[in-house]
């Protein structure tokens, strides 16, 4: 669920994985692994993603639909 939400938000905002990584102080490989559900972002990364996309952490982890 997390990976799908991250990818959806990234593509809706016309960002490459590399561009998103730079904006949230991560790297492209991490973004790729998150989107493929190989690993999950830690709470720090989830917070940065939620802040950047102006969504809740609950949305990112699939607890809410908005």
CATH number at residue 7: 1.10.260.40
The two tokens of residue 4 are 């799908």
Whole-angstrom Cα distance, residue 11 to residue 63? 21
- Residue 6 falls inside a structural domain: yes
**CA pair distance 6, 38, nearest whole angstrom:** 13
Range of the domain at 25: 2-60
Q: How confident is the model at residue 65 (pLDDT cuts 50, 70, 90)?
A: confident
**pLDDT by residue (tens digit) across 4-46?**
999 999 999 999 999 999 999 999 999 999 999 999 999 999 9
Residue 65 lies in a domain: no
- For 21, what's the count of Cα atoms within 13 Å in the CB-facing half-sphere? 13
- Say if 47 falls within a structural domain: yes
Give per-residue burial for 39-48: e unless 16+ CB within 10 Å, then b: eebeeebbeb
Predicted local distance difference test score (pLDDT) of residue 52: 98
């Amino acid at each position: 669920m997390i990976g799908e939400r991250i990818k959806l938000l990234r593509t809706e905002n016309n960002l490459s994985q590399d561009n998103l990584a730079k904006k949230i102080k991560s790297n492209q490989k991490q973004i790729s692994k998150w989107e493929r559900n190989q690993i999950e972002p830690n709470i720090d990364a989830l917070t940065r993603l939620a802040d950047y996309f102006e969504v809740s952490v609950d949305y990112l982890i699939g607890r809410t639909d908005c």
